[in-house]
Amino acid sequence: MSGVNTYAHTTLSIRISTDGFCFCSYTASEPDTLQYHSYEADSTITLAANFERAWEESPFYKNRNYDDVKVIMATNEFTTIPTEYDNKEEHRAIYNLCFPRTSSSAYIAANHLTAQGITILFAIDNVLHKKLCAISRVTYLCPASILLGFLARYPIEEERYMLAYFHKGKSLLLSVDKDKPTLINSFKSDNPHDQTFYLLSIWKEQSLSQSENTLHLCGDKSVEEVLPLLRQFIRQHKRINPNRLFRSNLLNQIKDIPFDLQALLLCE
């Protein structure tokens, strides 16, 4: 791994979740410069306080010259609106309608996915938002928008399919028809039987075939836990292995790196 002189030429990626934080610097043209660090969250303090502690302990803290910072907000609280009805002035009202307990001071971020015909809205705590903006120019992303970008960059051949992403008790499901999402759904559960039940319910709701359509899976060890159950109901299933797509041996060796962070780096 190289020293801090490479930071000026890299993007700092930060993944923020209620269970922990990941920091990663990566230059696509120089994959051996990759650095990655993760931190667990303390449930007794706020997310903003957790982030401040993790950030100050990270080896990236001393550098203040980042050209760009990409922040993944791993939240289940997001909503989508069709691109043709996307009006920035209405974002807060729409989001608050879906999540009425959202603080009035929260920053509402929007991921505009024009090719897919949708905009995804999600919220960031205002204190956390200010701490992130103090680092550098920030681009907010949510896992769903990253995975849709990944699918655009690395297309799946099937016309209709579902992508299921599992990570630390959180599940994200994307139902896709002709490269456009027909449904984006997320839920919390670390029980493989519950995960299987929710997935199969959405599979049926989307009128996907148990024998003809394919379920693509990615994520942590939860994939191995749900697969034996899913095989009883869905004939075709494939595991996405991002390690085969990376040139960087360093990234392939990182244990438990979230798939959405890997996908973001792959699309750099």
Q: What is the CATH number of the domain that holds 32?
A: 3.30.420.250
Same domain as 61, residue 7: yes
Q: Please say whether the dihedral angle defined by the alpha carbons of residues 152, 153, 158 and 162, taken in this order, is positive or negative.
A: negative
Task: Give Cα separations from 103 to 16, 19, 30, 108, 159 (angstroms).
Answer: 18, 21, 41, 10, 40
**pLDDT single digits (tens) 164-189:** 999 999 999 999 999 999 999 999 99
Same domain, 142 and 221: no
Minimum mean pLDDT among 3-7, 27-31, 49-53, 128-132: which range? 3-7
pLDDT at 253 over 80: no
Radius of gyration, alpha carbons of the chain: 19
What is d(CA 191, CA 169) in angstroms, rounded to the nearest whole number?
8
Q: Are residues 145 and 215 in the same domain?
A: no
| Residues 6 and 43 reside in one and the same domain | yes
Q: Same domain, yes or no, for 126 and 200?
A: no
Residue 39 and residue 116 in one domain: yes
User: Residue 259: which pLDDT band, with cuts at 50, 70 and 90?
Assistant: very high
Mean local confidence (pLDDT), 89-118: 96
- In this structure, are 236 and 255 located in the same domain? no
Rounded Cα–Cα distance for residues 161 and 96 (Å): 31
Average pLDDT of the segment spanning 130-156: 94
Query: Which has more confidence, 98 or 5?
Result: 98
Partners of residue 177 on adjacent β-strands: 160, 180
Q: Mean pLDDT, to the nearest integer, of 231-256?
A: 78
Which structural domain range is residue 224 located in? 156-242
Question: Measuring CA to CA, how many Å separate 61 from each of 7, 166, 191, 227?
Answer: 11, 30, 37, 40
pTM of the full structure = 0.90
Task: Please tell me whether residues 33 and 104 are part of one structural domain.
Answer: yes
- Position 64 pLDDT exceeds 90: no
**Residues 236, 167 within the same domain:** yes
Are 132 and 138 in contact by the 8 Å Cβ rule? The answer is yes
* Statement to judge: residues 142 and 192 lie in one domain: no
Q: For the purposes of burial, counting CB atoms within 10 Å of the CB of 145, is it exposed (0-12), middle (13-18) or buried (19 or more)?
A: buried
Average pLDDT for 137-164: 94
Residue 163, domain CATH: 3.30.420.260
Q: 130 Cβ partners below 8 Å, 6+ apart?
A: none
**106 shares a domain with 60:** yes
**How many domains does one find in the chain?**
2
Q: Do 178 and 71 lie in a common domain?
A: no
Report the pLDDT value the prediction gives residue 32, as an integer from 0 to 100.
73
Percentage of the chain beyond pLDDT 70 is 91
5 falls in which pLDDT band (50, 70, 90)? very low
Other CB atoms within a 10 A radius of the CB of residue 85 amount to 10
- pLDDT score for 265: 84
pLDDT at 35: 85
